[in-house]
A and B are shown apart, each in its own frame.
Chain A
Amino acid sequence: MTDRLPFTLRQTPDLDRWITFNEDGTVTVCTGKVELGQGIKTAIAIICAEELDVDLHNIRVQSGDTEAAPNEFMTAGSGSIEASGAAVRQVSAEARQFLLQRAAEEMHTSIENLTVENGIVANVQGNENISYWQLMQGRNFKVSANGEATPKPFADHTKVGKRAQRIDLADKVVGKPVYIQDMVLDNMVHGRILRPPGYHFRFQSLDQDGIRSMPGIIDLVIDGSFIGIIAEREEQVVNALEKMKQITQWARHGELPDQEALHDFLSTNASHSLPVIDGTPVEEPVPDFVTAESAVTTVNATYTKPFHMHGSIGPSAAVALWQSEKGRGETLTVWSHSQGPFVVRGAMAQVLKIPEESIRVIHRENAGCYGHNGADDAAMDAALLAKAVQGRPLLLKWTRDDEHSWEPYSPAMVMKVQADLLRDGHIAAWNYDVFSNTHGGRPVARADGSHFIAAWHMADPIAKPEARPGKGSHSGIHRNADPYYDLPQRRVIKHLVKVAPLRTSSTRGLGAYGNVFAIESFMDELAHAAGMDPIEFRLMHLTDERAAAVIEAVRDQANTIDLVRDDNPLLSYGRGMAFSRYKNAKCYAAVCVDLSVDLETSNIHLIHAVIAGDAGQIIDPDGLSNQLEGGFIQSASWTLKEQVLYDADGITSRDWDSYPILTFPEIPTVDVILLDHPESRSLGAGEATQGPASAAIANAVSDAVGLRLRDVPFTPERLKKAAAS
């Protein structure tokens, strides 16, 4: 039976590791997935409440602790509901079964004669009852999950699929200390890192005595070009850092390549090219282009996206504490907003040269991260600095400048597409080449290097490992590179460019953003070439009814909208849509956008968007809707406004003025339509709208002014350039 258990539960079958009945009448459920603002705690609580028949407000969720929560690896890739949700559902079903058996023994009856309401087990006669907490009496389960309990059939669900209030929000609206930056520990000190001004700079000299004599300074740590400052109070550490920025001497050893030539750089520096078959790269020679002799038209286009930032509103932070414990030797406790507490623990152990068992990583929330931002680096930085203050916790914060200039960006990409069309409009051959730096720069324990900035900068450095092409299904560059459409022949190639101008890693959607932008823009270009309606053209190439259903849902909803149009003759209006199924296996999403283009300023203004999503069985409808809409807004910001700028010396996008994002006045109204399939499994949805949002905007601009924008971001300058050519 245990082979039926969800993967992470099979790895950690001990029920006590997952669920505890507290003496105050609440239940604590543990998940290895962490809260990133996506609302996972609420969804996990709903699943647990459903299976146990305990009211939602009595469920507590503990997440991400290498000593107190199960290892569920990274919180990434829209996998939390599918993986941890399945584990928690089974855990809760097993706990319920265990408790009902005990209750049946207590009441001398059989389980079939018992009902549960908010954790109170009653017999059908209604003359006897006992609560889960009375049954547990503060004891542990001391059993392992065995797969014998069966979760409820979906038809019996009363909590799953119903609107719920976010369980973490009550504390946030009153400003409680819920974020990592709010941590206050006894005897705590403050730390900051002085980074080099750019990637290619190394430390030369600094008046150390002058800095050490500033008020409150405890220590100045200089290890190669890894430099940190520690003070008693926050303003003291910030003052010292400012002074250090002014007086530190650096030497430049190299420069960044010309940003103007970035996309040529990528498409001419491919160093590992792999065909992608059914979404998975294979180590085979790159085949020739596929063509169709009967084709009447061949269309091709090249699309690009720049480097984007995660752009968390809260700069990265961590708390680290070194202690000598009797019997355990030296231990390190790190509080971090990493997406993978267990994973970052291993990566830190490698750099610190200590066994990973001597490190405990405890997750604390920060502002939304949207992928691998500075969280893990801050944990490493804090651990290294805190060594200088043994026994005292050190709160380390990155500055806004640190976050903007050192976070691992979403890689720039180039997407080249060519397709043959038949006379009836069908696509007969599809060729796709995507070029990108790696989307996988997370610190993990590995023999060939380290992905921590601190490791690169130390006097005895550990170099960045060479990028390796991800081989998993839809894993990185090739995520959603393989179209979801029915195509008689296709040639899809991923090209990993190992030489990276900027530091890159995983950002919400990974390659899917660029790939869906290209594919879904190109589908409109093909429809235009075939003289067909873009929606009909897509439907003609789709056999999956659920895919068609989300497209039809946005079309039908958009057709009911009567847009108020300004009679300003300088405004031109357009509508565009796009579709994708995330990783070709998760949530289906279609997006339809109405916008206007100001013919004088070339400014694109989003007016309204309609989103339809099918995420299988919906656990938390309001949470799902929030994710689909939030993903759309964020992707619209990437698409319209964002690109990381740099010059020979380094990053020049160093704050929100030099890296502007979408603001309140620019936000369109949004309708979200959820297509529920309670009978089928839940599908990860947190990244589902990133891709289609971009192409829907491009397609709407084309509809409005007849100009095809193929290079993100669609700034007024880009639009003017497109109009001029």
Chain B
Amino acid sequence: MQQRITLTVNGADRHLTIDPETPLLYALRNDLGLSSPRQGCSQEQCGACRVIMDGEAIYACTTKVKEANNRRITTVEGVSIDGALHPVQQAILDENAAQCGYCLSGIINRAVLLLEKNPSPDRSDIQTAFKDHLCRCGAHNRIIRAIQNAAREMHHD
């Protein structure tokens, strides 16, 4: 039943002996102590659990831990650059771009990927990129502004 799984999480190899059918979300949260991926719907509808696996935003809630074996995973705990907040995190902080903040982890990961592929997204690009991320508090416009601010900040570097 149990299987040995190796996940490269935020740059470090982590070994687990675990039921391979376990959702990656539980492995990250309960076995590796990473609280940033949040559980929202467990069916790929809200985006709160999204993490980066081999450069793609994936749903940790429906991905089984065996599917992540020997893959590279980045969570919000690992998006910082040289110990400083990632520009997306800093921009969200500066813009007060949240109310409850529960959706933020998935949004930060998705935004980091977006800015890698599109360094200067316009409003509509961001809206489209986040079509699968739900925010119930109505902080959308602040989040959009924060991502645009982060994009500008990254251009300056």
Contact = CB atoms under 8 A, between A and B. Distances in A.
Interface of A: 36-39, 165-166, 168-170, 172-179, 181-182, 184, 215, 233-235, 238, 311-315, 365-368, 370, 397, 399-400, 622-623, 626-627, 629-634, 655-657, 661, 663-665, 667, 669-670
Contacts of A664: 126-128, 130-131, 133, 135, 140, 144
Interface string B22-58: 1100100110011111111111011010000000000
Nearest to A404: B41
Given A169-B101, A173-B85, A175-B34, A665 B138 contact: no
A667 B46 CA distance: 16
B77 to A, nearest CB: 5
Given A234-B30, A629-B138, A663-B134, A368 B99 contact: yes
B142 to A, nearest CB: 7
Given A174-B89, A234-B30, A631-B138, A179 B108 contact: no
B73 interface: no
Given A37-B137, A314-B48, A630-B138, A170 B1 contact: no
A166 B98 contact: yes
Interface in B102-139: 102-105, 108, 123, 126-128, 130-131, 133-139
A366 B102 contact: yes
B96 A400 contact: no
Contacts of B40: 313-315, 367, 400
A235 B41 contact: no
B93 interface: yes
B60 interface: no
Contacts of A634: 136-138
Q: Interface SS of chain B: helix, strand, loop or mixed?
A: loop
9 contacts: A38-B99, A39-B99, A173-B76, A173-B104, A174-B36, A179-B38, A663-B131, A667-B127, A669-B123
A175 B128 CA distance: 24
B86 to A, nearest CB: 9
Contacts of B137: 37, 368, 630, 634
A234 B26 contact: yes
A499 to B, nearest CB: 30
A182 B76 CA distance: 15
Contact of A370 (B23, B46, B96, B136): B136
A175 B105 contact: yes
A172 B146 CA distance: 15
Contacts of B136: 311-313, 367-368, 370, 634, 661
Contacts of A311: 136
A233 B17 CA distance: 13
The 9 closest A-B pairs by CB, nearest first: A175-B36, A37-B100, A633-B138, A630-B138, A367-B102, A172-B101, A175-B76, A368-B100, A177-B35
Contacts of B130: 663-664
Contact of B1 (A36, A215, A656, A663): A215
